[in-house]
Amino acid sequence: MSERLSVFKTYKLYVGGKFPRSESGRVYEVTGSKDQDWLANAPLSSRKDARDAVVAARKAFGGWSGATAYNRGQVLYRVAEMLEGRRSQFTREVADAEGLSKAKAAALVDLTVDRWVWYAGWTDKIAQVLGGANPVAGPFFNLSTPEPTGVVAVLAPQESSLLGLVSVLAPVVATGNTAVVVASERSPLPALSLGEVLATSDVPGGVVNVLSGRTAEIAPTLASHMDVNAVDLTGAGAGTALATELEVAAADNLKRVLRPRTGEDFAATPGTERLTAFLETKTVWHTTGSLGASGSSY
């Protein structure tokens, strides 16, 4: 009996709930962090892929932002369930990507699953923390509530291929935004596999879109795109020329910008900073004493 040949996995982008190859047809080699062995060919996304991902994210925004916070929490919890069921796959991919032992990689995958659960629990609580009734000098009700910013471009951390990715992505979608993610350039495989998890959970297509390739090639298109409302520059690196270039490009339509920080520890318990980074506060005034009176908001 002849020896069986292994079936190598073909990694693809995740855009609009589907798995396209890059429209350019390009790929690049991904190698292990420790031994530099070939792992796979990843799609090398083009600027056209980035624009397509923005279109998909914008199309999905209305439905996702309009869903109840409780429903978004249920959806995110389902993602955690699916991640739990594929722990062995992600352990192997994280170990290869980051040059870790199997035990250390498994611990990071466990932290990743827990991080999804943590953000799932925040979806219907963040409004209680950020919103509320405001005291005003007049016969009015004055109520503030947080609302999602819109389409957020997320540059995933370069070194933390899964835990770091989830730490920057989950708070974006938990608060009702949609996302275009640029995966770690050197270690994109866990991010591309996360796209498969999202596709088999309850996350609507287009809510999260995952691109792989050269960060310096894809990111400027997203930072300057007039239909992107905010950018998380974590993966650009603190103090780099690329980060400065992207901040300048983002200023054209007054995007919200989350700047990269040096030495960020993604294993630490997260606070609410990332949950609040891409929220707007809507304040509504309404007169007291008359149900028929009109109110105003700003």
In-domain check, residue 26: no
Q: What is the DSSP string of 184-210?
A: -SS--HHHHHHHHHHHTTTPPTTSEEE
Collapsed DSSP state (helix, strand, coil) of residue 277: helix
Up-side HSE of residue 122: CA atoms within 13 Å toward CB? 23
Is 4 a member of any domain? no
What is the extent of the structural domain holding 147? 39-297
Check residue 211 and give its pLDDT.
98
Structural domain contains residue 273? yes
Give the C-alpha separation, 101 to 122, whole Å. Answer: 32
Question: What is the block-wise mean pLDDT of the chain (298 residues), using blocks of 10 residues?
Answer: 82 97 95 88 97 98 97 97 96 96 97 97 92 81 89 97 97 98 97 97 97 97 98 96 97 95 92 93 79 50
Q: Which residues of 116-132 are buried (b: 16+ CB within 10 A; e: fewer)?
A: bbbbbebbbebbeebbe
Sheet holding 256-258, edge to edge: 208-211, 178-182, 151-155, 230-232, 256-258
Q: Report DSSP letters for 14-31, one per residue.
A: BBTTB-PPPTT--EEEEE
Domain count, the chain: 1
For the chain, how big is the Rg over CA atoms in Å? 20
Report d(CA 3, CA 150) in Å as an integer: 52
Domain annotation covers residue 156 = yes
Tell me the C-alpha distance between 64 and 76, whole Å.
12
Is there a domain that residue 115 lies in?
Answer: yes
What whole-number distance in Å separates Cα of residue 155 and Cα of residue 153? 7
Domain contains 169 = yes
Residue 83: inside a domain, yes or no? yes
CATH number at residue 60: 3.40.605.10
pLDDT given at position 35: 80
205 touches 56 (CB < 8 A): yes
Task: Give the global pTM.
Answer: 0.92
Q: Please indicate, yes or no, if residue 262 is contained in any of the structural domains.
A: yes
Q: How far apart are CA 4 and CA 249, in angstroms?
A: 52
